[in-house]
Amino acid sequence: MESASSKAERTRRYIIEKTAGVFNTKGFAGTSLSDITEATGLTKGSIYGNFESKEAVAVAVFDHNHAQVVKEVTRQMEKAAGYYEKLMVYAQTYSRFVRNNYPEGGCPILNTAVEADDTNGLLKQRAAAAVLGWKKNIELLIRGGVTAGEFKQGIDAAQLALSIIALIEGGIMIARVTDSPRHLHKVLKTVEWILNGIRL
C-alpha cells in the first residue's frame, strides 16, 4: 500500500509536470489558478493541499524545467570528445530546443528572468542561480581546455562564459520575437567563431 508521503510526492510531481508548459508559456503573472486546475484536473483544494501558494508551484516548475534543460545538455556533453566539443554542445542543444519548442514555452531561464526581474524576487533568485551555475560550468570547461592544451593561455574565463550565455539567450530572444530561428542560428555561429578563436 502506498504511503501518504509517497502519494503526496506523486501528486506534487503530477502538478509540476502538468503545469510546466503553462507557467513557462504564460509566466507567473499570466498563469491563473484556473489555468492550474484546468491543466491538472485537480481542485483548488488539491493544489493548495500540496503547495502553499501559486508562487511555490511556479518555483517548483522552474526547477523542473531547468533540470530538464540541464539533463539534456549533460547527456549531449557526455558524447563530446574534448572541451571545444563540450562547449559547442550549448549552442547545438539550445538551437534544437528552439526548433522543437522544448521545454514547452522555450528557455525557462530567459522566460523567468525577463518576467521576474521586477515582479518576483524568489523566481528572480532562481533564474540568477541558474545563470551563475551555467557560467561556472562554462568557466570550468574553458579552464579545463586551457590545462589540456586545447585552448590558448590567458583567457578570461568569466568574461568568455558570460559572453557565450549572453549570445545564446539573446539569440533565443531575437529568434522568438521575430519568429525566425535563422537569427538564432546566426548568433550561434558567432559562438562557434569565438570558440574557434581560442583554440590552439
pLDDT in tens, 140-179: 999 999 999 999 999 999 999 999 999 999 999 999 899 9
Give pLDDT, residue 97: 85
Percentages of the chain per state (helix, strand, coil), in multiples of 5: 80, 0, 20
- The CATH number that applies at residue 35 is 1.10.357.10
pLDDT of 8 over the 70 cut: yes
Q: Are 40 and 20 in contact (CB under 8 A)?
A: no
Its domain, for residue 24, covers 4-198
Give pLDDT, residue 5: 73
Residue 117: pLDDT band (50, 70, 90) is confident
Please tell me the pTM assigned to this model.
0.92
Q: Are 23 and 58 in contact (CB under 8 A)?
A: yes
- 10 Å Cβ neighbour count for 2? 8
Q: How many domains does the chain have?
A: 1
For 39-90, write each residue's pLDDT tens digit.
999 999 999 999 999 999 999 999 999 999 999 999 999 999 999 999 999 9
Give pLDDT, residue 4: 67
Give pLDDT, residue 6: 85
CA distance 184 to 49: 42
Give pLDDT, residue 16: 97
pLDDT of 1 over the 70 cut: no
Cell 568568455 sits on residue = 160
Kindly report the backbone phi and psi dihedral angles of residue 103, in degrees, each rounded to the nearest multiple of 5, phi listed first. Answer: -60, 160
pLDDT of 2 over the 70 cut: no
